[in-house]
Amino acid sequence: MQINTDSVSKQIYSLIRQDILSRKLKPGDKIDTRGIAEANGVSVMPVRNALQQLTTNGLVVNRERVGFFVRKYSVQEVKQIIDVRKMFELYCITNFFDRIDLGAAASLLDLLESTDNRATLELLDSKIHKLLVYASENKFLIDEYEHMDALFSIGIYGGKHVNTMAAKREHIDILKAILAGDREAAGKHLFSHLERAQIEIIEVVEE
């Protein structure tokens, strides 16, 4: 009987992704495929599957006959990634503002205002930005955004330059503007947030 390794691969994918985003695995590091398999009590196959998916998503590079490495990004590439993120999110908040789930926005605001825990704030960060894109109800747009989600997270996790509390304040401003029905203010707060985040991410990449 053939064993389905999809669920195992997804778990390994999440573990490696988090190690990369938290910079436990740094740009240029070789990824120990066999070591990861042994540490998690699995065969090499699901680890390789996970690494192939991370390669597709842009976090890992597969060098033939050498192995898998954490991908390095230049400052110019980081700027281009942020430009793509602006394209998605600013387009959505402008064109689909009236479709944003206000119940979800209110819940996220409550969670945001009730915590200063960095790990929790990092999780909320992703949910807040996805809320804007999901309002489009456009499967193709959402799929493309999800495909680049890992790249959008570069620099958010780890790095001494990351100001989690500044991001918290900016997210609160965005959500309050959404709940007040102020499309223009929400868009301005989002743009300012992404501009400041770009500076931080570049500093992290340059570490």
Query: Minimum mean pLDDT among 39-43, 56-60, 155-159: which range?
Result: 155-159
**Contact, 13 vs 53, CB < 8 A?**
yes
Residue-wise pLDDT for 129-144, tens only, equals 999 999 999 999 999 9
Question: What DSSP assignment string belongs to 125-142?
Answer: HHHHHHHHHHTT--HHHH
Residue-wise pLDDT for 64-87, tens only, equals 889 999 998 888 988 899 999 999
The matching CATH number, chosen from 2.40.50.180, 1.10.1060.10, 1.20.120.530, 3.60.20.10, for 75-205 is: 1.20.120.530
| Cβ-based neighbour number of residue 34 at 10 Å | 10
Taking alpha carbons only, the member of 115, 104, 118, 113 closest to residue 179 is: 104
Residue-wise pLDDT for 100-155, tens only, equals 999 999 999 999 999 998 888 888 998 999 999 999 999 999 999 998 888 887 75
The matching CATH number, chosen from 3.90.1150.10, 3.30.70.920, 1.10.10.10, 1.20.1530.20, for 6-70 is: 1.10.10.10
pLDDT for the residue 155: 59
Residue-wise pLDDT for 85-95, tens only, equals 999 999 999 99
| Cβ-based neighbour number of residue 151 at 10 Å | 19
Q: Is the pLDDT of residue 31 over 90?
A: yes
Burial of 42 (0-12, 13-18, 19+ CB in 10 A): middle
Q: Percent of the chain scored above 70 by pLDDT?
A: 93
Q: Where does the chain have alpha helices with state H?
A: 6-21, 33-39, 44-56, 75-95, 102-113, 118-134, 139-147, 149-152, 164-179, 183-205
Q: How far does Cα 161 stand from its chain's mean position? A: 17
Q: What are phi and psi of 79, to 5 degrees?
A: -60, -40
Domain locations along the chain: 6-70, 75-205
Unique residue bearing structure tokens 């109800």: 137
Whether 75-205 and 6-70 are alike in CATH topology: the answer is no
